[in-house]
Amino acid sequence: MIDIKFLRENPEAVKENIRKKYQEHKLELVDKVIELDSESRAVKQQADELRSNRNKVSKQIGALMAQGKKEEGMALKEEVTRQAQLLAELEEKEAKLSAEVTEIMMQIPQIIDESVPIGKDDSQNVEIERFGEPVVPDFEIPYHTEIMEKLNGIDLDSARKVAGNGFYYLMGDIARLHSAVISYARDFMIDRGFTYCVPPFMIRSNVVTGVMSFAEMDSMMYKIEGEDLYLIGTSEHSMIGKFIDTINKEENLPYTLTSYSPCFRKEKGAHGIEERGVYRIHQFEKQEMIVVCKPEESKMWFDKLWQNTVDLFRSLDIPVRTLECCSGDLADLKVRSLDVEAWSPRQKKYFEVGSCSNLGDAQARRLKIRVSGEGGKKYFAHTLNNTVVAPPRMLIAFLENNLNEDGSINIPVALRPYMGGKEVIK
């Protein structure tokens, strides 16, 4: 969420940012929020004047009563009562206007970083760098569920009967491989100095609206009926929520955390859920990383975070590339975002396996995550997040890149301790 003071002083800059994100329908919100904010401040000033006057008059009443001037004192009391009624009306109006301003401000996108390429959608994202040599073997690579089924590693039919499309049973060595990747990713991040955490898998609505836009919330989150709770779509949500309404000492920053969780997503508007595949699903598990830091350090941490994911995939013999997300592909709270894509030998192209985001002070402003700096000066922290690894999507890349012609799967050296020393899945 943008600083209202910045919007007041730079309305054209905010409008230009909206244009860069191809959200012209939101241009009118800038003028509307300025108007409502002006009215809100005027009402607040009037209410403050009444509160100040009430205190003065109360003292006068006391003095008059002490002097025996009861009639004059009672007249002033009536005036105080009248002003109290007016004050109550003003406070109600002030609260209403403040809520309207906040609601609109939460729809106005964050100012994007100057390095972000301008483009309408993900088709205009820009490739930055490739890591590892993409290889297409001289034998045909089956669809990923066929690879799993030949190893008795997946049961989609039973899952469909139990829960519907978008769910799965992982079995045997494939299930073990899934858990091994998560455990390896956990230790990989711990070795890089991150603190391991298992967070709550449900969060309250005030945390949801603090970490994501209304559009994301509608398309992703499952609501728990009768409760003020939502199933998390990613552990980043509850991890950032951990710092809600806190004042953190500057010398304690940055906080670097890596978290494990199941994730639940409606995948609304995702053009249907694949019946055969596990690329886009309602339930999966993920290892995440988040950083809470000083504003001047967020660009540095952004580069460190995506590099962690690249390094992990390369340690498992999977070629990857990085893509800078263009302006139109950025969610409203994001200042900058970079996708990590893994090579698919079957499709002969890359596909997304992780996303790194710098949210500036957007989440911190919504959740009141503040930092106490030099001289007690308080300011909003910056927050960042990135996917370490998210199987079973990551398993697609793993299986395709480590598949042998006879259908067996090579286990990279780094993962063998988590697979009981196995070198190959047959």
Q: How far is CA 199 from CA 48, 203, 229, in A?
A: 42, 10, 14
Dig out the tokens for 267 from the structure.
């995948």
- Among residues 394, 174, 398, which one has the least CA distance to residue 278? 394
| 269 dihedral zone (left: phi>0; alpha: psi -120 to 50; beta) | left
Strands 378-380 and 369-372: antiparallel
CA distance 70 to 127: 82
403 secondary structure, DSSP code: B
Cis amide linkage into residue 254, ω under 30° from 0: yes
Cis amide linkage into residue 134, ω under 30° from 0: no
426 secondary structure, DSSP code: -
Catalytic residues: 265, 280, 352, 355, 393
CB contact burial 99-119 (16+ within 10 A = b; e otherwise): ebbeebbbebbbbbbeebeeb
Dig out the tokens for 83 from the structure.
């002003």
CB neighbours (10 Å) of residue 293?
19
Cα-Cα-Cα-Cα dihedral of 406, 409, 412, 413, to 10°?
-80
CA distance 237 to 424: 37
Strands 126-131 and 349-358: unpaired
Question: Residue 387 corresponds to which amino acid?
Answer: T
The answer to whether residues 283 and 273 touch, using CB atoms and an 8 Å cutoff, is: no
- Among residues 386, 323, 279, which one has the least CA distance to residue 121? 323
CA distance 151 to 248: 50
Place of tokens 């302006």: 327
CB neighbours (10 Å) of residue 83?
16
